[in-house]
Amino acid sequence: MSPNAESTAFRSALEVIRAVEPRVADAIGAELADQRESLKLIASENYASPATLLAMGNWFSDKYAEGTVGRRFYAGCQNVDTVEALAAEHARELFGASHAYVQPHSGIDANLVAFWAILADRVESPALKKAQVRQVNDLTEADWFALRRELGNQRMLGMSLDAGGHLTHGFRPNISGKMFDQRSYGTDPATGLIDYDRVAEAAREFKPLILVAGYSAYPRKVNFRIMREIADSVGATFMVDMAHFAGLVAGKVFTGDFDPVPHAHIVTTTTHKSLRGPRGGMVLCGPELADQVDRGCPMVLGGPLPHVMAAKAVALAEARRPDFADYAQRIVDNAQALADGLTRRGAKLVTGGTDNHLVLIDVSGYGLTGRQAEQALLDSGIVTNRNAVPQDPNGAWYTSGIRIGTPALTTRGLGTAEMDATAELIHTVLSQTTSGESKAKYVLDPALADKVSKQATDLLGNFPLYPSVDLG
């Protein structure tokens, strides 16, 4: 590749866009500038490679391709077949899964595909068999009515939102909470850790059809072997949503009991978080659920996005390279350095530290709500997001936590020394912010915010983002 290839590609693309709608070209350029200048600590974000980004901007976007590889509802899908098959092959090899479905557009979509695959396998198929018909269209009105009621009356046990679970694991305002009779397992109030005995007890009492593990704000590893044993003991299908930590599984930081793929019946993920691919989702499973998973589109998904599947193939190929394992390990080393730096300075962390890519600060220790802390940090050039902590007195909107994660800064090249410096900046801002007259209001000296902002920019100075891309 010529040394200027990436600059030329992005510059040319912007020139073409600018000729039609200059404000879009300007916004794209401004987004890169903003990303370059901010200390991005959002645990669910990353920086995809230029190859991944470029794979999304092309003619694949024009193609309809409902169905799966070789079995489409539209003609002319031979090139889409090529990229979808490649993405699925890379995913299978990377994660050691027997089947990969790479069409979901997001994590929510991937979870919906998984839920409906399980419902089809565990509820619909037996009903069809009992009625001695091959498909739902052949059921009598009475049998169809009964099946619809049964599909809508199944149980799911997942991690509660304030313990770090995800809203798609049965939170009532989400479709998953409306689809399932849901119960949650939380964490031990004293340690903040999952108490497997209590999960087992909840499973015995509730007898869920689906046991879900996975999180978006739990800073520890989960023992998937134990969770599978719990699922088996009550006849539940075990599903893991590894969206947040897929990169750590891919990079073999999470192995053995902590790798969900050998233990779960079905695994869902996004592709853009620690995995560092394009925005999108994916489902992995064994042969038992493969056919049902492949019905995801048009069952719950709109037409697949072939340009994004092309980018998934590129990013998954990158994740199969040996340097990705090094990247994944550095994500965790950095998170632990950040956690240590914050703890040493007096911050209160949920569970007292981290085993993964994220740290959850309980900002009530600074006398702040999550909302106040998030905004004060943003004023100071530090981009984070507020998050509930276990048994949060401030609810899901104001919250009492700040979630920070290291995948993005690690991609940029920052290491443990810079994480300690980042901890110092965060602690400086939070310890010098005071609560205002409402849960959203706060007082922070603007001169201090400016000073920290400048320090954050200086910290990033040695780690340019997309160094190969010069937009001129």
Per the annotation, the verdict on 424 as an active-site residue is no
Which residue among 122, 220, 228, 273 is the active-site one? Answer: 273
Q: Considering only CA atoms, which of 88, 459, 140, 158 is closest in space to residue 310?
A: 88
Q: How far is the CB of 427 from ligand DSN (least distance, A)?
A: 23
Token pair for 261: 């793929």
Q: Would you say 44 or 351 has its CB closer to ligand DSN?
A: 44
DSSP 440: T
Per the annotation, the verdict on 279 as an active-site residue is yes
Please, which of residues 355-394 interact with ligand DSN by CB under 6 A?
A: none
Rounded CA-CA distance 472/176 in Å is 47
Which residue among 11, 45, 63, 64 is the active-site one? Answer: 64
Q: Would you say 77 or 338 has its CB closer to ligand DSN?
A: 338
Per the annotation, the verdict on 66 as an active-site residue is yes
Collapsed DSSP state (helix, strand, coil) of residue 101? strand
- Residues 56-95: x/- map of binding to ligand DSN (CB under 6 A)? ----------------------------------------
Rounded CA-CA distance 403/408 in Å is 14
- Residues 211-230: x/- map of binding to ligand DSN (CB under 6 A)? -----x--------------
Q: How far is the CB of 271 from ligand DSN (least distance, A)?
A: 13
Q: Are the C-beta atoms of 342 and 354 separated by less than 8 Å?
A: no
Among 38, 44, 394, 455, binds ligand DSN (CB under 6 A): 44
Q: Is 103 in the site for ligand DSN (CB under 6 A)?
A: no
Q: Would you say 107 or 278 has its CB closer to ligand DSN?
A: 107
Rounded CA-CA distance 384/425 in Å is 13
Residue type, 119: L
Q: Would you say 99 or 221 has its CB closer to ligand DSN?
A: 221
Rounded CA-CA distance 124/443 in Å is 57
The angle formed by the CA atoms of residues 334, 425 and 338, to the nearest 5 degrees, is 20
Q: How far is the CB of 356 from ligand DSN (least distance, A)?
A: 13
Q: Would you say 279 or 451 has its CB closer to ligand DSN?
A: 279
Q: Are the C-beta atoms of 392 and 385 separated by less than 8 Å?
A: no
Q: How far is the CB of 460 from ligand DSN (least distance, A)?
A: 22
Residue type, 186: G
Q: Would you say 187 or 216 has its CB closer to ligand DSN?
A: 216
Q: Are the C-beta atoms of 217 and 187 separated by less than 8 Å?
A: no
Rounded CA-CA distance 202/418 in Å is 42
Q: How far is the CB of 216 from ligand DSN (least distance, A)?
A: 4
Identify the burial level of 446 via C-beta atoms within 10 angstroms of its C-beta, where 0-12 means exposed, 13-18 middle and 19 or more buried.
exposed
29 belongs to an annotated ligand binding site:
no
Please, which of residues 143-202 interact with ligand DSN by CB under 6 A?
A: none
Q: How far is the CB of 227 from ligand DSN (least distance, A)?
A: 20
What spatial distance separates the first Cα and last Cα of the chain, rounded to whole Å? 20
Per the annotation, the verdict on 351 as an active-site residue is no
CA distances from 102 to 46, 156, 389, 454 (A): 19, 24, 32, 41
Among 67, 104, 107, 401, binds ligand DSN (CB under 6 A): 107
Count of residues of this chain found to bind ligand DSN when the rule CB under 6 A is applied: 3
Q: How far is the CB of 128 from ligand DSN (least distance, A)?
A: 34
Per the annotation, the verdict on 241 as an active-site residue is yes
165 belongs to an annotated ligand binding site:
yes
Which residue among 187, 269, 270, 384 is the active-site one? Answer: 270
166 belongs to an annotated ligand binding site:
yes
Rounded CA-CA distance 261/274 in Å is 16
Per the annotation, the verdict on 221 as an active-site residue is no
Q: Would you say 164 or 192 has its CB closer to ligand DSN?
A: 164
Q: Considering only CA atoms, which of 154, 252, 253 is closest in space to residue 212?
A: 154
Which residues, in sequence order, are CB contacts of 322 under 8 Å at separation 6+?
none
Q: Which residue matches tokens 């995913």? A: 91
167 belongs to an annotated ligand binding site:
yes
State the chain's maximal CA–CA distance in angstroms: 75
Binding residues for (6S)-5,6,7,8-tetrahydrofolate: 161, 165-167
Binding residues: 161, 165-167
User: Where do contacts with ligand DSN occur on this chain (CB under 6 A)?
Assistant: 44, 107, 216
Which residues participate in catalysis according to the annotation? 64, 66, 241, 270, 273, 279
